[in-house]
Amino acid sequence: MKTVLLTGAAGFIGWKTAEFLLKEGYKVIGVDNLNNYYDVRLKEHRKKDLEKYENFKFYPVDIENLQALEILFNDYKFDVVINLAARAGVRYSMINPYVYMTTNANGTLNLLELMKKYSVKKFVLASTSSLYAGQPMPFKEDLPVNTPISPYAASKKAAEVMAYTYHYLYGIDVSVVRYFTVYGPAGRPDMSIFRFIKWIDEGKPIILYGDGSQSRDFTYVDDIARGTILATKELGYEIINLGGGKNPISLKRVIETIEAHLGKKAVIDYRPFHKADLKETWADITKAKNLLGWEPNVSFEEGIKKTVDWYLENRDWLKDVEVGNE
């Protein structure tokens, strides 16, 4: 039985990745600092779901805490480290950029140092499509992403290049997976799809930055989790896009699809487009197909239906979840 250290285990993608690993028979040591960037009840909901598996063990550890991490590396022999712990969110990174660097960059460095010390050879690092700002589409992994336009993207770039350094110097095998707008049941409440579902259902105005024509390569969380696990194979050092790979979906279409599944119309509060946001994202997933045999299985329409269904089933407690206004 392989043992995986999975950081960010109570996070949206971490939870689903852990679930799939556990079902495949891996032993998963999950860590998460359970911070309150968004409503902790969602994190507790996901963590409770994982704790029903005998091969799962959870520790409330922050990857910024090198000493606490080292206890785990000393107690367990990890075959793989999957780093999904991160401060997320483009706009908040402009308010508090320091925590993005300490978690996303320094936290990654802590893991790499311990992997070197304890001879753990495989590292999977979650990264972001936000790095592709200003590049031609569809986005390919070999584009020169050297001009990030938010502290969030800059901190992720820092983690990527540090991982390369440890690959080059110490032979750590690294897969960097760049995610494209992930959504699904129990998703982050600061992301558009969760907010839109909740606001439309409750009859509250949707806050929409721009005119709704901006689009994203939405990718269902199950597909992202599968791709992340496939990326644990030995590859050397590779950066791999995990995205929808088809035509991007506009926010207008997102709203219309949610309206159809809820049977309710949205009230829209239009705001100016935010300069740190990308107008469009679109992944070239050729590399994922060739290296991992991966492509998404869940269509946008099916994914939205599953997400709305989950929301309706859990509406009693989700009504109190804060989604913020930014």
Question: Which residue of the set 100, 152, 179, 220 is catalytic?
Answer: 152
**Residue 292 in contact with residue 239, Cβ under 8 Å?**
no
Token couple for 99: 């925590």
Q: Pull the structure tokens for residue 75.
A: 């107690």
Size of the chain, expressed as the number of residues it contains: 326
Tell me if residue 152 is catalytic.
Answer: yes
Token pair listed for 227: 């791709």
Phi–psi pair at 121, nearest 5 degrees: -100, -10
**Token pair 């999904």 in the structure block, residue:** 84
- Closest to 127 in 3D by CA, of 84, 187, 92: 84
- What is the DSSP track for 188-213? -TTSHHHHHHHHHHHTPPEEEESSS-
* Cα 119 to Cα 94, 101, 166, 214, distances in angstroms: 36, 25, 12, 45
Separation CA 87–CA 77 (nearest Å) = 27
Residues with catalytic roles: 152
